[in-house]
Structures are given as C-alpha cells and as structure tokens.
Structure 1
C-alpha cells in the first residue's frame, strides 16, 4: 500500500568516498529544490510535501551519510562539517553553477543554514524547518564532554530492532502521534529493512547516537547566519518540543528569536496543529508556503 501521489526514483552517486543515495521527484528539466532531512530520518520523509507542490519542480533529496540507503563512513563518531562537505559535493554534481533553492528540516536545516552563510553565492532561497541549533555551551563543559565521549567509545551504541514493519510504523507514531496509519506505514518502508534474522532494523548507523566531543559554538553559527544573502523562510511548529533544552517555552522563544535576528532577510511562519515533524503534520500548508516563497 502506498499513499504517494508522485513516485520518486533513486540514484546512487559517489560523494567524498561514500555511495550516496539520492531521491528524485519530478521532471529533471524543471527548477530544482534540494531538500535535506533531519537526524534519524530519510529523504522519503519529504514525500507528503512533494505531493502537494502545484508547480513543476525537480526535487533532489539525499539520504545523508549513515542514514537510509547511503553508506556509513565506518567511523565511531560523526563530524558535523562532513554534512556541509557532502552537500557542497552534491550541489556541484547536480547544479555546478548558479544559485539554487535549498530546504532543510531539523539537523538538515542546521546544515543548510550554515551552508547558506559560507557559500552565499550558491543559495537563491533558503527554507529552514525548525533548524534551531543546539543548546548553548560553555568552555567549562569541555572536560566532561570529552570524558563522556571517551567512555561511550568503550561500548558502541546499538539500535533496537522490531518484530514487524507494523511495529516500526507504531514506533514512528509514538514519536509523532499526529502521524496517520497510512503515512506511518508508508514511511516505515523507507525508514527500516528486514535483516537476516527477520527482524526489522532502522536504516541509521548507531554511531549517530554517539556524543560529539566538540561543543556547539552558537556564536560561531550566528556569524555564519549573518553572511546569508538569500531570503530565508523560517517555519516553526506551534506544538514543537525540540526547544525544551532551552528552558520554559517563553524563555526558549526569546533565545530562538535572538538567534534568528542574525539572519538578514527573514520571513517567519508559525505552523498551527503541528509538531516538530511539521512536514508530516501539515504538508499541504508547507507546500503552499514554500512555493509562494520560491516563486517570489
């Protein structure tokens, strides 16, 4: 069973030593939109938004390294700058010249936000779906962070497996109660696969769960955001909970707005009746806002 209105097609290309899986929708001669998914997610996550786009677009969405059908690097730690390096190589492959339309969700939004600041000439318009960044850190946290990382290296993380695809779908709905049975079933087929033991395993490298030894430098990120020359559409869900590490909601919103103030040309949209996976919860509205923004 599938509820996808527009079938995607897969391609594998070499990117920085890895076999990268790239998902495509639409006519290859149409204007391009590059979309980057979030942590522990896959490119197929954008299916419902793509289905509601009214114009003719060529949507290009990779499975980021160690997610979905893209190879894992085989290391015990993921380094955030590698996502920027991969994105740069992907854009060079599909759009070697000119400025492109770029969208990201969550972790993918943090990647595209940084990229738009360090390669401003390459981004025509940027859509950020809840790319808040990470908690503010302080130098005093560094010793403990290194200790935690070293300790975790002694016992590599694992991901649980599931008895059936239906259990995987139920797991997706546990994270996002708004996800319908039909959409959960559709996503579970891309989010997992059956292994040799006939268990269903998540298509994500367990090493993604490893603590990074490097502190998140929010002021460095903001300096990159200052360099963004493209117009930016920021979308936030009214029922999101990913900012909980910033404190109570009002306090968190102050910090979010402080960060967003560094983006020169910003349009904000609050999405009602949606959680962090807002592209699953309100895909029709997101598609309308995205197209209106890109076609200005």
Structure 2
C-alpha cells in the first residue's frame, strides 16, 4: 500500500485532520469522503493510481480524527470548510476535486457558487437526493426537535474483526483483506474497548430542513469546470431513481461540460469495489500541468 501521512490544522476554529499521499510537489487533487466515512476510505483507489499525484484528503468535521461537535451539524458549514481548505492548500489556483457521495454533494454545490475555485470535478455515485414535498417539512422539524432531547446512540462491535464482518455484511464485495483494513482505519475505539465507525453519531440525526433538489440543481447549472459523473451500476443513484430514469437525465442535463462513466460490478462504495476502474477513469479525465 502507498504510504500516507496526516497533519492537523485549524479550519474555521475546528481541529481538522488531513491525510496526504504522494509528493508535495506532484499535481494536487483533493479527495473528499462521504457520509459516515473517513479519508482512509480512498487507500485502495490511491494504490490503483498509475500517475504521480499529491492526494489531499481531509476528514470532514465530525469524522475520523477531525474534531467532533457532539451536537447537531449544519450542512452549509461543509461549504465553508471546503472554502477554507482550498484557501490553505491551493490559494493561487483552482483545484481538482474528487468527491464521493456526501463529498460530491458538497463539492458540486461549491463548484457552482465558487466556480473560479474549481478546475475539474469528479462526482462518484451522487446525483442528489430524491425530491421532498412541502408537507414533509413539519414532521422533519418535529423529528429533529425530539432528537435534541436524547443522547445519540453509538453502535459498538466487540473488536476489529467483528467490525470487519459487519462491513462485509453491508458490502459483500469487500474482500477479507480490504474489510480488515477498513475496520482498523475508518473506526475508533470506545472507552470500553469496543470498535465503532469513526463518525459522530449526531450525523445520523436528520436535518430539520427538507432537501431542496431544485436549489441544488440551480448551483449545478453554474458550474464552469468539466465534470466527470461516475455512477456505479449497482449504486445508490441507480437504486434511488430506479423508477424514474428520466429524472437521472434531467439532473445530468444541469452540467454544461459533462462526461459520464459507469463503473461495473460495483455498489455505492466504488472506491472499495472497483478501485482500478475508478482510478483509470479519474486519470483519463484529469489533465496534468
């Protein structure tokens, strides 16, 4: 495996953990992880890259070794965090960004409203959430208020081997070797010795505000950078819009400069299932200086 190193820095008043692979003077590319995940999720993908890159992969606030809030999270903070991270690591030039799932959600909206800061964007198995109705709003707010009154449960596993088996249950495509790596590198150990996913359980509390697909799509229409849309043939996008394939095309039409690749025999975590396919597609898309 390619070696990584980590550094910690202050991002908007929070301790942020940032993982690096590759030489500092190699072309930089930012890898942004998804919900209930960490930067280490990209290890297999980085190992499959054929060219020399400086991969910069933060743990988002509330994940991995970055600071946890222990209270509800406000999603727009991630846009502010990304803005600050790019200002720190790429102040003079627009960035290449690869985002998986929530990382793609954050980076794609950001690429619309800060179009001058993004040179190229890769979105991995994310095309927005399903549309919500205005009648959903009251119940969503009630649920959030109810959650504020109670502690958020942490699900622990006896040891790393038990956690690895749980990861394979969720994703049968994971080999024993990859599951063992993830169990030790996307987890943390609780005071009682149990192992759990390294994500603040407050992330599991649904937002008090309903998802506005039209607002997100409006930002996508402002993106000037070339976009690579990487969809898994058995991923969340295909599942989420299985009954409405026209909606997939409607959302894809938002991107002015789009390339589309399907990763075969892969679930949502395509960086785990098919890292070689993903790496080849990314490197074919990204241009070298």
TM-score past 0.5 threshold: yes
Superposition RMSD in Å: 1.3
Q: Equivalent of 1:69, from 55, 65, 69?
A: 65
Paired position in structure 1 for 2:92: 97
Q: Distance in 2 between matches of 1:57 and 1:93?
A: 18
Q: CA deviation at 1:159?
A: 2.0
| Conserved 8 A contact 2:125-2:236 | no
Paired position in structure 2 for 1:270: 262
Q: Equivalent of 1:84, from 40, 65, 79?
A: 79
Paired position in structure 2 for 1:114: 109
Q: Distance in 2 between matches of 1:231 and 1:178?
A: 31
Q: Distance in 1 between matches of 2:249 and 2:61?
A: 30
Paired position in structure 2 for 1:144: 139
Q: Distance in 2 between matches of 1:74 and 1:15?
A: 17
1:216 lines up with 2:208 in the alignment: no
Q: CA deviation at 1:189?
A: 0.9
| Conserved 8 A contact 1:117-1:226 | yes
1:170 lines up with 2:165 in the alignment: yes
- Of 131-140 and 31-40, more deviation after overlay is shown by 131-140
Paired position in structure 1 for 2:46: 50
Question: In the superposition, relative to structure 1, how do residues 86 and 50 fare at CA in structure 2: closer, same or farther (>3 Å)?
Answer: same
**Which runs of no fewer than 5 residues in structure 2 stay unpaired?**
none
Q: CA deviation at 1:211?
A: 1.3
Q: Equivalent of 2:249, from 257, 277, 290?
A: 257
Q: Deviations over 1:149-190 (max 9, x none)?
A: 111222232121010100111111111110100001111111
| Conserved 8 A contact 1:152-1:211 | no
Q: CA deviation at 1:242?
A: 5.2
Using structure 2 for the length normalisation, give the TM-score: 0.96
Task: Count residues in correspondence.
Answer: 288
Q: Deviations over 1:211-250 (max 9, x none)?
A: 101111111111100010000000111111455454xx2x
Question: In the superposition, relative to structure 1, how do residues 61 and 74 fare at CA in structure 2: closer, same or farther (>3 Å)?
Answer: same
**Which runs of no fewer than 5 residues in structure 1 stay unpaired?**
none
Paired position in structure 2 for 1:18: 14
Q: CA deviation at 1:256?
A: 2.0
Q: CA deviation at 1:196?
A: 2.6
| Conserved 8 A contact 2:69-2:200 | no
Q: Distance in 2 between matches of 1:171 and 1:184?
A: 9
| Conserved 8 A contact 2:126-2:236 | no
| Conserved 8 A contact 2:227-2:258 | yes
Q: Deviations over 1:240-278 (max 9, x none)?
A: 1455454xx2x3432122111111110011111100011
| Conserved 8 A contact 2:25-2:54 | yes
| Conserved 8 A contact 2:36-2:63 | yes
| Conserved 8 A contact 2:49-2:279 | yes
